Chain A
Amino acid sequence: MGDFDIRLDRVSKIYSLHRASSLRDEAGRLARRLFLGHDTPRERCTALSDISLEVRRGETVGLIGSNGAGKSTLLKILSRVTVPTSGQFWTSGRVGALIEIGAGFHPDLTGRENVFLNGAILGMRHAEIEAKFDHIVGFAEVEKFLDTPIKYYSSGMLVRLGFAVACHIDPEILLVDEVLAVGDASFQAKCLNKLAELKAQQKTIILVSHVMTNILQDSTRVLWIDRGTVRALGEPERIVEEYLESAQHGIAEVSALPQAPDPSPIRIRDVTIKDSWLRVSSVLEHGRPATIEVGYRALSSVSDPVVAIEFHDARGYPLGGLTTRLDGVKLDATREHGVVRLVLSPLLFTRGAYGVNVAIHDARIQRYLDFRPGATMFTVEGPGIASREVSGHVVYPHRWEVETSDAARDTE
């Protein structure tokens, strides 16, 4: 195994799609599968095909790819929840997953009881949990409610408790899936610090995120998975840039972030980018009009929601944003469906790849009603940094004025 903590050798996962079938068919198929170990062919869906990867101890590999590319399946295989259809893999050491935090919490049990239960499910022994108990509870900030059944906990408390248990498993290999997006800002900072701490302890980390800034900040390498295959693997900046530039991101891809805990009255449905001909496209031309279209669905009436659109570059660096409130645009969210279009005319971005975050706020922009970081991406054709003709990401509206004369200019 050498000093590799994770090794995947041509791992594939094929799901057979379940169709409703008669009880008799199903029983026969089951009997075959249970006792003979093979199955009659069904409709299949390849989630991963021939993934090979070696991760050294202490490495942090960022895992990127659009939704449905196979990222979660790969994490499921690494955490042994599911078994690959073919191929082999090795992991050395305890695998901890910050994927589904709080799984196995039972509402009727107290916080204390749940810490022990959840800890055991995640692979900790009783004595081990006992030793770390005070740390866990302190981290989660739920000391006062330890003997209260957790059905009375707020969702924030539950998330904190789940995360606290999960990050005390002390695994050699850590799988992190977008959990950094949970909790309030101070708790998020705590989580990020914990992640940095684990990194410093030479843990091997697989990090999944739709937020490219996080990927670039933390990864030593990036693996880009596209439709179940390895599209690219290597130096983070190069791969993230390639990823953001890849054309397939033009059409709305609303990120699969954990939803806001409370049911939100309004949801972003899709985000689409259109070029100057109003065709759906991810490739835009500098200097021509471009449209960003946000479809939303109001589940209940919301007074004056505000749509905010932010841009960032391929590294996730923010390039400013716009809100409907800023421009005094009112949204009618008394009807269920709506579309907001932001027309950038002309498009001022220079050549390169850009990401778009979309959010819907309440009337006073104090609260997120829905937030989709990395909702979509686009690339711009035109003058770029590489041409040395422009610098930075924006060409300001401008004109040059040149004046010449043979006589010295009159400065009086």
Chain B
Amino acid sequence: MKVQTPMASLGGIVRRTEPLKTGDLIRQYLAELAQHHHLILSFARRDIRVKYKQTAFGVAWAILQPFSLMLIFTLVFSTLARVPSDGIPYPIFAYSALIFWTFFATSISQGTVAMVANAELVRKIYFPRETLILAVMLSTTFDLLIASTIFGGMMLYYQIVITWNLLWILPLLVLQIFFVLGVICVTSALEVHLRDIGHVLPLLLQLWMFASPVAYPLSLVPPWLQPVYLLNPMAFLIDSYRRVILQGTPPNPVQLALAIAVAFLLVSVAYLGFKRAERTFADVI
């Protein structure tokens, strides 16, 4: 059985007289990526296995992280600071945001170092580098699934009424994944050149969390600030997860359209930039 060589006919034609149109370029990238889908799975399998192989708690860590954050948040923001939570019990109010936020933050921090962590491979072997990013995405999605099991239990405990609007979770997750992929395309390529990114990131993510309605409700943000505030797709996403899961209402359509626009613009520009930067990864990393 033979595998079709990626881009066999195109070999490595460099500096063509007529550059490909952007659309063709993206199509070509995606076709090559599709040929490497098995590699994405292999990397993801590796990442998941390695992550849990040598830990005593194993996959329980995927739950412990957001869960312990929830306990701390409940203590600090609800019990002490008395932050309102739109009439929802604070623990589940916080957890509904924290599992998606943890998904976001771990994806970004692991995705950013995806190239550097695999520097040996990148230096020596050719494969579309975005497979590493997509593998990170798969393994963090796996964590999210684990973390959401306990969420189900909490929903029963707090007697949350489930509505059809819960199905909105899936498109919202897809939107979040696209947005995150866009961010990682930029940060992981930058990280190859400048290791500073990896150092700045934890701080940045911390700030980003407080700029999103994770610990507090969106209603606490003054109306005049909201248009700017909602330019952050994570602000919209976190608020919407709460709406569709806890309140049984659909996301705000205008905000949804805005978030889709931001995410798709980002992911397409970032992907093209990533593919351009990718050519020199092996030389620089």
How distant is the Cα of A232 from the Cα of B156 in the complex, in angstroms? 77
Q: How far is the CB of A91 from chain B (nearest CB, A)?
A: 5
The segment out of B101-109, B165-173, B277-285 that lies at the interface is B277-285
Q: Which of A58-101 contact B (CB under 8 A)?
A: 76-77, 79-84, 86-95, 97, 99-100
A26-B193, A108-B54 in contact; A94/B3 too (CB < 8 A)? Answer: yes
The reply to whether A86 and B15 form a contact with Cβ atoms under 8 Å apart is: yes
Cβ proximity bits B1-44 to A, threshold 8 Å, 1 near / 0 not:
11101001001111100000000000000000000001101110
Interface of chain A residues 9 through 68 with chain B (CB within 8 A): 15, 18, 23, 26-27, 30, 33-35, 37
Give the docked Cα–Cα distance between A33 and B126 (Å): 21
Min CB distance, B283 to chain A, in Å? 6
Number of B interface residues in the complex (CB < 8 A): 42
Residues of chain A within 8 A of B13, CB atoms compared: 88-90
Say yes or no: B193 contacts A30, CB within 8 Å: yes
A120 closest partner in B (C-beta): B42
Residues in B with CB closer than 8 Å to A121 are 39, 42, 121, 125, 127
Residues of A within 8 A of B207 (CB): none
CA distance A104 to B42 in the complex (A): 11
Q: Which of B3, B49, B121 is in CB contact (< 8 Å) with A104? A: B121
Task: Flag if B189 contacts A93 (CB, 8 Å).
Answer: no
- Cβ–Cβ contact A125 & B1, under 8 A: yes
Asked if B82 is an interface residue, CB under 8 A from chain A, the answer is no
Q: Are A26 and B194 within 8 A (Cβ)?
A: yes
Q: Does A103 contact B (CB under 8 A)?
A: yes
Closest CB of chain B to A338's CB: distance in Å? 35
B202 at the interface (CB under 8 A from A): no
| Partner pick for B276 among A26, A37, A109, CB 8 A cutoff | A37
Query: Is B49 touching A113 in the complex (CB atoms < 8 A)?
Result: yes
Taken together as a complex, chains A and B put the C-alpha atoms of A82 and B281 apart, in Å, by 8
Q: Which residues in A have their C-beta under 8 angstroms from that of B46?
A: 106, 109, 113, 117
B53 and chain A: residue at smallest CB distance: A108
Q: Across the interface, name the chain A residue whose C-beta is closest to B35.
A: A123
Residues of the A chain whose Cβ atoms lie less than 8 Å from the Cβ of B193: 26, 30
Q: Is A335 an interface residue (CB 8 A)?
A: no
Once the chains bind, are B1 and A23 in contact (CB under 8 Å)? no
Q: How large is the interface on A (under 10, 10 to 19, 20 to 34, 35 or more residues)?
A: 35 or more
Docked CA distance A123–B46 (Å): 16
Least Cβ distance of B48 to chain A in Å? Answer: 11
Q: List the B side residues contacting A116 at CB < 8 Å.
A: 42
Residues of A within 8 A of B279 (CB): 82-83
Q: Which chain A residues border B190 with CB–CB below 8 Å?
A: 30
Contact B1 A131 (CB under 8 A): yes
Flag if A92 contacts B42 (CB, 8 Å): no
Q: Which of A80, A84, A109, A122 contacts B49 (CB 8 A)?
A: A109
- Residue ID in chain B nearest A80 by CB atoms: B126
Residue in A closest to B16 when the chains form the complex, CB atoms = A88
B44 to chain A, nearest CB (A): 11
Q: Check if A337 is an interface residue, CB within 8 A of chain B.
A: no
If A108-B54, A131-B1 are given as contacts, then 9 extra A-B residue pairs at C-beta distance below 8 Å, sorted by A number, are: A27-B194, A81-B124, A83-B279, A87-B15, A103-B121, A103-B124, A109-B49, A120-B38, A123-B127
15 contacts between A and B (CB under 8 A): A33-B280, A79-B125, A88-B13, A88-B14, A88-B15, A90-B12, A92-B11, A94-B2, A95-B5, A103-B124, A108-B54, A109-B50, A120-B43, A121-B42, A122-B125
Q: Which residues of B contact A (CB under 8 A)?
A: 1-3, 5, 8, 11-15, 38-39, 41-43, 45-46, 49-50, 53-54, 118, 120-121, 123-127, 189-190, 193-194, 196, 273, 276-277, 279-280, 282-284
